[in-house]
Every structure is written in structure tokens, then in C-alpha cells.
């Protein structure tokens, strides 16, 4: 496929371009034999697939099985631990690797911190610090690498239980670098990752519970800012200064407020 | 809770057939496909509260695909090697079963099976975009959502998938002609 226009010709065939570009392509194919042949091929392939591969339907037994599974799911109010085990599997190999490598110091620090913490500790705080530290170790910072909110946001839909606000604030100094799924407070939380100068800021989000949000605090040198927006609880964690961290929090809160008004 | 179940049945379950078709193209056996769909529907139900106004079908198929790759990773512990973006139009012929059944009576039925076999033998990255475009009739943005790749990659992958299918079809036809003589 040598012609530089072949992808646009395909987009034309798939009805993905506007009328002006379509006229462009039609003119082009009058002169380009290769693209005319391409259009023919595309048409043939489509016809063959749609004629020969008859669309299947879910068998009734499967449908019944799924309804029974949903019945069970609705009957059980709180998630069983082994249901959630699945999503934590992902991080296992990572922990194994981290303990052998440079991550061990940080893990030890977290463990010591967890063990030495007074009993009043909110478990979510520990989870958050641990998750932030985990993210700083090799290859677990980002699952979806993108500076485009339209890539990061839909990604969360398939990988986490929540859909947080996402935007690139490069203008204000907070560059969107990607997203990640993390296990937190018994759910698959969404983490949006920003970069501010040399600092990484993890913005965690999860479905808010009845209990009040923790107060902003500092643990192990990491600042943690909490807020609620809609039915989601957010926490931004970073070793950047409070002013910078709260700056990002303000931007995100404004964004949530704008979204809510729409 | 019942309200959630009702909304879920009204909004998500209409796409059960699409989820099943997609699973059949991803999974290796009908049994695997059933398990995959069930797992995906349960996950979708758990995550349903977080779904806001976006395309439900693309959302559900993305979950199917995600469950499939999780299952795959658990099955084969070896590292997943993604296909190179280029030079893959001619690969994988070895996977195509070599001799079509010579006693086939109906030509149309034979073609049907040939096409199905050729599609199944395509690399998964190619097969899924073709299925989503031609069978599920999804647009580029929806395909990008399901497969979690940028739209530009959807376009180039789709082009390569179509070219690969056509090349295999031609090769198959040529082989049959030779076989007859």
C-alpha cells in the first residue's frame, strides 16, 4: 500500500471524514488507480464478512447462568475478599521484585511506618502512602501512558470502579502523564498521575464512603490532601510542597464543579 | 440495589449478544467464551455505578477484552510480546490449516468456513479491530475505547488487518486452484 492517501481513503470508506475531505478523496481516487483498487478491496472484504459470518447470539443457557450470578451478586452486599483478590494479583509479581531490589528500603520504611503507627491510624492513610511509594518503584507508575484526557479517562472505565475528573494542566505546571489502577479501600481505585517539575503527584480516587474524609496530613515526608467531589473521594499525594499540591487540588475541584454544573 | 439491577438490565444486557460475539472471537473455545462473558458481566455490574453516560457497548466490550487479557496472562505466565506494528502482513500463514476439506459440497458453506478460519488465524490485534469494525459496526472512536489504543493506531491497524485478510484469502484461492489440477 504505497499511496500516502490510503489511510484517508479507508477513513472515507468507513464514513469517518467530513464532506469536504470526502470530496477531496473522491477527486483523488479519480486519478489514483491504487486507491480505486483499495476501495474495491475494502468493499469486497466487508461484503464477504457481513455475508458469511453470521452474527451469533448468546445461548439461552449462558443468559440464565448470568442472571443467576447477578442474583448472587445482588444478594451479597459486601464484596467477599476472594472476589477482590483477582485485582490485587496484578501487583504481586511486582512486590516480589521490589523486595529483592532497590524498592526494599521504601517497602521497609512503609512497613516500619505501618507497624509503628498508633492504633488510631485510618487504614486508608496507610494504603495511600503504600500505593504512592509503590508507584515510585520501577514500572508501576503508569498503566496507561498519555497526556490526553480523552485517552486516560475511558481507560479507567474498563479497569477501575470509578471515573474521576482528568485534565492536563500543563499550562499551570501540572503535566498529565498517565493513569493507573490501584487497589484501595476494597475497591479498584483510579489514579491519575501528574508531573510537577521533578515531582510525581498521584491523585487517587475511589467511591466515597459514609465516614468523613481524613484531614490533610503529612506522612513519611509525603503530603496528602483530601477532598470530596460528587460521590468520589480524592487524595493527592506527593513530596512536592503544600502550596503546589493544593494548587493542583484547587484546579481539580474547579473542574469537578464545572463538570457537575454541565 | 434492585434499582441498580434494573438499570443494569435495561442499559447493559441489551449488549450481551455483542459481548458474546466478541468473546467468541477472542476466546479459544465456546466454553472459554461463556466464562469470559460471565466474568465480564459481573465486573461490569460491580463497576456500573461509575459508568456515566458514555458508550455502554464500547464500555462493556472493553471489559470483555480486559477480562480476556487478564485470563490469558494468568494462563500463560510467559511475557506477552505485542506484535510489531509493521511487517506483519505476511506472518502467520503457518497457523492456517493447510488443506480444506476436498469433499465439501456447498461452495458457499465452504467459503463461509474459509473466511471464519482465515479470520481466526489472524493475529488477535488484527482480528479484534476487524470484528469491531465490520461485525459490530463500531466507529474508530469506539474501537479505540474498546482496544485502549489511540485512534491513529486504530486506523493503521485496521488497514493492516484488512490487507492481511485479503492476502490470506488470495493465497488460499491460489492454493485451491493448484490443488484442483
Q: What CATH number corresponds to the domain at position A249?
A: 3.30.200.100
Check residue B53 and give its pLDDT: 67
Whether residue A18 is found in the same domain as residue A126: no
pLDDT confidence tier of residue A34, bands split at 50, 70 and 90: very high
| pLDDT in the model for residue A91 | 39
Q: Which residues of chain B fall short of a pLDDT of 70?
A: 1-2, 53, 76-112, 179-181
**Do A112 and A221 lie in a common domain?**
yes
Number of domains in chain A: 2
Residue A15 within a domain: yes
**Is residue A213 domain-shared with residue A101, that is, in the same domain?**
yes
**Do both A95 and A172 map to the same domain?**
yes
Is residue A63 included in any domain, yes or no?
no
Q: Which CATH number fits domain B83-181: 3.40.50.1980, 2.60.40.10, 1.10.10.10, 1.20.140.10?
A: 1.10.10.10
Asked if residue A203 lies in contact with residue A224, where contact means CB atoms within 8 angstroms, the answer is no
Work out the pLDDT band at A106, boundaries 50, 70, 90.
Answer: very low
**Architecture field, domain B1-81:** Orthogonal Bundle (1.10)
Domain check: are A158 and A228 in the same one? yes
Q: pLDDT per residue over A171-215, tens digit each?
A: 999 999 888 888 777 777 899 999 888 788 999 998 888 777 888
The pLDDT-based confidence of A136 (bands split at 50, 70, 90) is low
Whether residue A236 is found in the same domain as residue A119: yes
Residue A222 sits in the same domain as residue A150: yes
Q: Are A228 and A155 in contact (CB under 8 A)?
A: no
pLDDT class for A247, splitting at 50, 70, 90? very high
Q: A160 and B47 in contact by Cβ < 8 A?
A: yes
- The predicted pLDDT at position B91 comes to 41
pLDDT of residue A76: 61
Domain boundaries, chain B: 1-81, 83-181
- Structural domain of residue A252, as residue ranges? 86-261
Decide if B82 contacts B125 (C-beta within 8 A).
yes
Residue A240 forms part of a structural domain: yes
Report pLDDT digits (tens) over B135-155: 999 999 899 999 999 889 999
Who has greater pLDDT, B81 or A59?
A59
Q: How far apart are the first and last CA of chain A?
A: 45
What the block records as the C-alpha cell of B56 is 455502554
Q: What is the pLDDT of residue A142?
A: 74
Residues 32-91 of B with CB under 8 A from A: 34, 37-38, 41-42, 45-47, 49-52, 54, 58-59, 62-63, 65-66, 70, 74
Query: Are the Cβ atoms of B112 and A62 closer than 8 angstroms?
Result: no
| Average pLDDT for A118-123 | 52
In a domain, A247, yes or no: yes
B59–chain A nearest CA distance, Å: 6
Q: What is the ipTM of this complex?
A: 0.78
Q: Kindly state whether residue A74 falls inside one of the protein's structural domains.
A: no
Give A1's contacts in chain B (Cβ within 8 Å). Answer: 159, 163
The reported pLDDT for the residue numbered B107 is: 58
Q: Give the pLDDT confidence of A137-173 residue by residue, as tens digits.
A: 545 667 777 778 888 888 888 788 888 999 999 899 9
pLDDT at B72: 82
Query: Does any domain span residue A60?
Result: no
Number of alpha carbons in the 13 Å side-chain half-sphere of residue B36: 31
CA distance A91 to A61: 35
pTM over 0.80: no
Together in a domain, A238 and A112: yes
Amino acid at each position: 500500500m504505497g499511496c500516502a492517501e490510503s489511510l484517508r481513503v479507508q477513513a472515507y470508506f468507513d464514513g469517518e471524514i467530513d464532506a469536504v475531505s470526502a470530496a477531496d478523496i473522491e477527486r483523488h481516487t479519480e486519478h489514483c488507480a491504487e486507491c480505486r483498487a483499495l476501495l474495491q478491496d475494502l468493499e469486497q472484504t466487508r461484503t464477504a464478512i457481513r455475508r458469511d459470518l453470521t452474527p451469533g447470539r448468546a445461548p439461552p443457557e449462558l443468559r440464565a447462568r448470568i442472571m443467576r450470578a447477578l442474583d448472587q451478586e445482588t444478594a451479597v452486599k459486601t464484596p467477599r475478599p476472594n472476589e477482590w483478590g483477582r485485582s490485587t494479583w496484578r501487583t504481586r509479581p511486582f512486590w516480589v521484585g521490589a523486595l529483592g531490589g532497590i524498592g526494599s528500603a521504601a517497602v521497609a520504611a512503609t512497613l516500619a511506618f505501618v507497624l509503628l503507627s498508633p492504633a488510631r491510624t485510618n487504614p486508608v492513610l496507610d494504603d495511600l502512602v503504600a500505593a504512592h511509594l509503590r508507584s515510585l518503584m520501577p514500572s508501576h507508575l503508569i498503566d496507561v501512558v498519555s497526556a490526553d484526557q480523552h485517552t486516560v479517562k475511558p481507560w479507567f472505565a474498563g479497569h477501575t470502579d470509578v471515573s474521576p475528573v482528568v485534565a492536563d494542566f500543563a499550562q499551570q505546571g501540572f503535566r498529565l502523564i498517565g493513569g493507573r489502577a490501584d487497589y484501595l479501600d476494597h475497591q479498584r481505585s483510579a489514579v491519575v498521575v501528574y508531573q510537577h517539575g521533578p515531582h510525581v503527584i498521584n491523585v487517587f480516587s475511589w467511591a466515597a464512603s459514609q465516614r468523613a474524609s481524613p484531614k490533610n496530613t503529612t506522612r513519611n515526608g509525603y503530603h496528602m490532601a483530601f477532598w470530596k467531589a460528587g460521590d468520589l473521594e480524592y487524595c493527592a499525594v506527593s513530596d512536592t510542597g503544600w502550596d503546589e499540591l493544593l494548587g493542583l487540588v484547587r484546579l481539580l475541584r474547579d473542574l469537578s464543579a464545572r463538570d457537575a454544573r454541565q | 440495589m434492585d434499582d441498580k439491577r434494573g438499570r443494569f438490565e435495561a442499559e447493559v444486557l441489551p449488549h450481551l449478544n455483542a459481548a458474546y460475539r466478541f468473546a467468541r472471537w477472542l476466546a479459544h473455545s465456546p466454553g472459554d467464551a461463556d466464562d469470559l462473558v460471565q466474568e465480564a458481566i459481573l465486573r461490569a455490574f460491580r463497576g456500573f455505578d461509575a459508568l456515566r453516560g458514555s458508550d455502554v457497548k464500547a464500555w462493556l466490550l472493553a471489559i470483555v477484552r480486559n477480562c480476556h487479557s487478564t485470563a490469558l496472562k494468568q494462563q500463560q505466565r510467559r511475557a506477552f510480546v505485542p506484535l510489531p506494528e509493521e511487517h506483519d502482513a505476511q506472518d502467520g500463514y503457518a497457523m492456517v490449516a493447510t488443506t480444506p476439506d476436498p469433499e465439501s459440497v456447498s461452495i458457499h458453506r465452504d467459503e463461509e468456513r474459509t473466511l471464519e478460519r482465515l479470520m481466526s488465524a489472524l493475529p488477535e490485534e488484527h482480528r479484534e479491530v476487524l470484528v469491531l469494525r465490520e461485525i459490530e459496526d463500531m466507529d474508530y472512536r469506539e474501537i479505540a475505547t474498546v482496544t485502549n489504543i489511540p485512534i491513529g493506531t486504530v486506523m493503521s491497524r485496521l488497514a493492516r488487518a484488512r490487507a492481511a485478510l485479503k492476502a490470506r484469502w488470495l493465497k488460499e484461492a491460489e492454493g485451491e486452484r493448484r490443488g484442483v489440477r
